[in-house]
Amino acid sequence: MLKVGLTGGIGSGKSAVSAALASYGAVVIDADALAREVVEPGTPGLAEIVAEFGENVLTPDGRLDRPALGEVVFADESRLARLNAIVHPKVGERSGRLMEEALASGVEIVVYDVPLLVENGLESLYDVVVVVDAPDEARVERVARDRGMPREQVRARIAAQADRETRLAAADVVVDNSGTRDDLAERVAGLWAELGERAG
């Protein structure tokens, strides 16, 4: 089974590539989705976060209040490390279980959608690292248009992530998404063919 690490900065089109690969038959394991799943109401993850950070990180309906938690942890590295120590092992366990299910079902290609793959130095966990790439200004325009985020906020997010050169240096395969949606669809079809060859 081929383990593919898929990454790309905000606005690069990584989610579109991930969805297309899933439509071709890849099992996609989405790190962000798992991180949300392990802190749903009623989970041990959420209980541990409340025990560590207090009830004020909950919304009135008992869900995790991400902005409130963000204010606490992003101002203090030791608190952020504590949060990561609660969440990351649970994401790892869940990811491992999904991986076992994929293996048992005979899937040939598993794609890990990991936004901070390069930032966290996770390249060695995968057989192939795929980076979805687009020029920074194209990404700013895309996020401003699609998510209604102010351009300065998008630029700040881009600045907080690995720069383009660092991400490209980590890539085994680069998917250029500087063109149209049709261009991207064509490139993903080529990527799927290449991954199939590598898996075979």
DSSP character for 62? S
pLDDT in the model for residue 160: 84
Burial class (CB in 10 A: 0-12, 13-18, 19+), 6: buried
Alpha helices in the chain (DSSP H): 14-24, 31-37, 44-53, 66-73, 77-104, 136-147, 151-160, 164-169, 181-199
Between the alpha carbon of residue 169 and those of residues 42, 117, 133, 192, the distances in Å are 41, 13, 12, 21
59-108 pLDDT, tens per residue?
999 999 998 998 889 888 899 999 999 998 999 899 889 989 998 999 99
pLDDT in the model for residue 22: 96
Contact 72, 53 (CB under 8 A): yes
> In which residue ranges of the chain is pLDDT below 50?
none
* Amino acid at residue number 126: Y
Q: Alpha-carbon distance 31 to 22, whole Å?
A: 15
Selection from 1, 47, 12, 11 nearest residue 130 by Cα: 12
Going from the N-terminus, what domains does the chain have, and what CATH number goes with each? 1-26+107-200 (3.40.50.300), 35-95 (no CATH)
Contacts of residue 99, defined as CB under 8 A and 6 or more positions apart, other chains included, come to 29, 110
Q: Which residue has the tokens 């890539």?
A: 171
pLDDT in the model for residue 120: 87
